[in-house]
Structure 1
Amino acid sequence: MTACAIETAAEDGDHEGMPVRPPGGFAITANGAYAARLAGSGDALYAERWTLDGPEPYAVPLPLDQPEEPDARLVPLADGRVLVCRAVDGRRHTFSLLYPTGPGTGELQLGAVEAPGPGPVVLLPPSPDRSCAYAMHAGPEVTVVWLVAGGAFGPERVAEVPGHCAGGVWLDRTGRMLALDRRLGDGPVKTVAVDLERGGEVSPLLQITETSDDRLLLADPDSGLLLIRSDAPSPGHERLGWGVLGSLLPVRFPECLRLDDAAVTPFAVQPGQVLMPESCGVALRIDAAGGSWVGLWRPSGRRMHQVAAPPGWLAGAGAWSAEGVLRLPCSTPELPCALAGLTVPEEPEPLVEVEREAAPAEAPEGERPRVCRPVPLQQAPLTDRRPAG
């Protein structure tokens, strides 16, 4: 199914105060093969695994003797098992792997962690290395990251990051570099890169201005495309922007990503576009008083295309194929497990002139072009600042 553009009559504007509702607990593996969610209703909740890489999607229920609590968290692994995190007594959290076996559900208990302070232990997004899973607890002064699946001896503390952290975005395909949005004391939020193979070594990743709140929402390791939320362009009013990991070019904040009285949140980036960040399809969830729908956009495009959500869309969940098809999971009484496909409509002309203005000057003949640094991106200027010399 190809998406059709829907024009909006509202002028672009700020959406301060609009709630950004999180995805409904539907997590998809990094390779798009499996997904997991809490299914059921009322007091009869259970884990459910979706298989997405076959000819047709199908769901496998994974119930146990006791129903799951509403605050249970799930992450699917690339081998088809589902990791579940359960809060036992407030500060203690247990981890188990669920898998189908015969007519029932098998459970492998992995161990437990004690949260070092108040607040929940949360599962990080599925790791791109396909074999590990991580959990995080953010305290007011320190944030702890555990390897909870894929280790040799149960949950293992792998990082302690000074400050209160949120988010969690993978920066590479190996599951080594993790981006977290960190606040130190009463200072602004800045995204940092955490090296999980070097004891949680922290380095700056995103800083637009010294006082702005800069958060990383999504990153694509293939193209280097970054989706950013920051109040740098207009203090007190956050805007969606995009940049390129390791680039010397400025972060851009397209007007087309601003909507009146609606919250716009990116949730998926098209993979496989190596060194072509402007060509990546980006899926955005649009939330307003009247409900939720889908935005489709490319950095090279002139506008964000808005389309009605398919029936039963699990809002905020979806994954792109490398070929540019956005697959949205849907569940209705008639079709409890289904995928709807959308593509970004073609535009008459790419946004060439603006991109040329922001592009670095061509190197003189016979002179080697400047090579941009890879991760981490330490500065993301608002204007095109290049180092002297």
Structure 2
Amino acid sequence: MTACAIETTAEDDDREGKQGGSGGRPTGFTTTANGAYAARLAGVGDALYVERWTLDGPEPYAVPLPLDQPEEPHAQLLPLADGRVLVCRRVDGRRRSFSLLYPTGPATGELRLGSVDAPGSEGLVLLPPSPDGICAYAMCVGPDSTTLWLVAGGAFGPERVAEVEGHCSGGVWLDRTGRMLALDRRLGDGPVKAVAVDLERGGEVTPLLQITEESDDRLLLADPDSGLLLIRSDAPSPGHDRLGWGVLGSLLPVRFPDCLRLDDAAVTPFAVQPGQVLMPESCAVALRIDAAAGSWVGTWRPSSRRMDQLAVPQGWLAGAGLWTPGGVLRLPYATPGTPCGLAALEPPPEPDPVPEPEPVAVPEEPRVCRPVPLQQAPLTDRRPAD
């Protein structure tokens, strides 16, 4: 199962712990890469504590992990594949401390990992859970460069693993091993471009996405099985972001379907169906829709020309969810009567494909950079508009 975390509220937006900027992943409900565990801050008022959810059993259940002192609202959480939960706490204005919490009978065990000095104006944020389920990484943004830290899974506490030139945000894993990380980088006053960072080669940076030279091109989600990429860019209409999709390593243009654009609502992808090996057009994508009336879910496939909108369960932890390989969307929710629930939604079946003309030919000299990034593609093709 593939999951992306996210609980977005006005209160959350004020917290320091925005885990990446492009995908809208603030601190809230965060799942492991394999969808087995999740973690969130629970409690009322100032009496906050860490709560771990188990999602891969017959029924979901939550385990509270309280300590003697309540957690601060800006504490950041990240569950690991062994069931422990990493907590990042603000010690003072500059330092961030890291601990692993785990259940020990009726009590909560805590393993302190050390701390990191985070002098940047944006502090330090945890990156999304690593695909290996063992390591945890954090990003500290400074005035001229961004530092990546291994904060759990190392031999001697937090370790600095890379420094990337420029102001970085986002954070999307491109493989199943936790080696290749995509970041959205801005150099000086230039546009934002997604780049790939090789953590096993000292943070070597490779261009990943450039639609035009002037456009802001951000990577929101990536599915390693199919190669499907979800992109946000203002290339089609400068100054106005659009959702698009492409395929990692493909020479075909990035597409910007009209069905993903709503005039009166914000649309943000948060989960991609796993297991669709080499079939990116068949991957189901879950999208969070935010409007004046509230938040609900949309589902869409690249092969489809429509986005289906679905009602969500009461108490949905907005923006959180995971797909099964079979195409069932599971949404976590919490209500007074059901403090730990997981609703299953089955989107409408995929419509029969409509034959279409072949897309426009690629440029004569396509730009392909290691590790197999998207080509520098034109904005339009000769297919009928989506």
Q: Does 1:104 align with 2:107?
A: yes
Task: Tell me: CA distance 1:147–1:351, structure 2 relative to 1, closer, same or farther (3 Å).
Answer: farther
Deviation at 1:347, TM superposition (A): 4.2
Out of 40, 44, 48, the residue aligned to residue 43 of structure 2 is 40
**Which of 85, 88, 105 in structure 1 is aligned with 2:88?**
85
Q: Could you tell me how far 1:302 is from its partner in structure 2?
A: 1.6
Q: In the alignment, which of 139, 143, 146 is matched to residue 140 of structure 1? A: 143
In structure 2, what is the equivalent of residue 68 of structure 1?
71
> Is this contact kept in 2: 1:247–1:373, CA < 8 A?
no
2:349 alignment partner, SS class? coil
1:12-59 deviations in Å (ceiling 9; x for gaps): xxxxxxxx9755611000000000000001110000000000000000
Kept after mapping to 2: 8 A contact 1:24/1:314: no
Deviations 1:181-220 (A, max 9, x none): 0001100000000000111000100000000000000000
Q: Shift in Å at residue 120 of structure 1? A: 2.0
Q: Does 1:242 align with 2:239?
A: no
Tell me if the contact between 2:27 and 2:76 (Cα under 8 Å) persists in the aligned partners.
no
Please give the alpha-carbon distance, in whole angstroms, between the structure 1 residues aligned to 2:278 and 2:156.
39
Say which one has the larger Rg: 1
Q: SS in structure 1 opposite 2:208?
A: strand
How far 1:136 moved relative to its partner? 0.5
Pick the aligned partner of 2:130 from 114, 127, 131.
127
| Cα shift at 1:179 | 0.2
- What's the CA shift for 1:346? 1.5
AA of the residue aligned to 1:135 = A
Q: TM-score, normalised by structure 1?
A: 0.88
Query: Letter of the aligned partner of 1:382 in structure 2?
Result: L
Q: 1:331 aligns with which of 319, 329, 334?
A: 334
Letter in 2 for 1:114: D
Q: What residue identity is the alignment partner of 2:184?
A: D
Counterpart Cα distance in 2 of 1:323 and 1:98? 33
- Find the residue that maps to 1:358 and give its secondary structure: coil
Residue in 1 that maps onto 2:359: 358
Q: TM-score normalized by structure 2?
A: 0.89
Query: Are the aligned partners of 1:246 and 1:373 in contact in 2 as well (CA < 8 Å)?
Result: no
- Contact 2:99 2:110 (8 Å CA) reproduced: yes
Secondary structure of the structure 1 residue equivalent to 2:358 = helix
Q: Secondary structure in 1 aligned to 2:121?
A: coil
1:118/1:163 CA distance change after superposition, 3 Å: same
Question: Deviations for 1:71-95, whole angstroms, at most 9, x for unmatched residues?
Answer: 0000000000000000111210000
| Equivalent residues, number | 355
Partner of residue 377, structure 1: 374
Take 1:21 and 1:174, find their aligned partners in 2: how far apart are those partners?
Answer: 23
Q: Per the alignment, do residues 352 and 28 of structure 1 end up closer, same or farther by CA in structure 2, a change over 3 Å counting?
A: farther
* Consecutive unaligned residues in structure 2, runs of 5 or more: 1-22, 363-367
Letter of the structure 1 residue corresponding to residue 378 of structure 2: P
Q: Does 1:340 align with 2:343?
A: yes
Deviations 1:326-347 (A, max 9, x none): 1110000010001011122124
Match of 1:13 in 2: none
Is the CA contact 2:304–2:351 (under 8 Å) kept in the aligned structure 1?
A: no
* Contact 1:302–1:350 (CA under 8 A) maintained in structure 2: no
What's the Cα RMSD here? 1.9
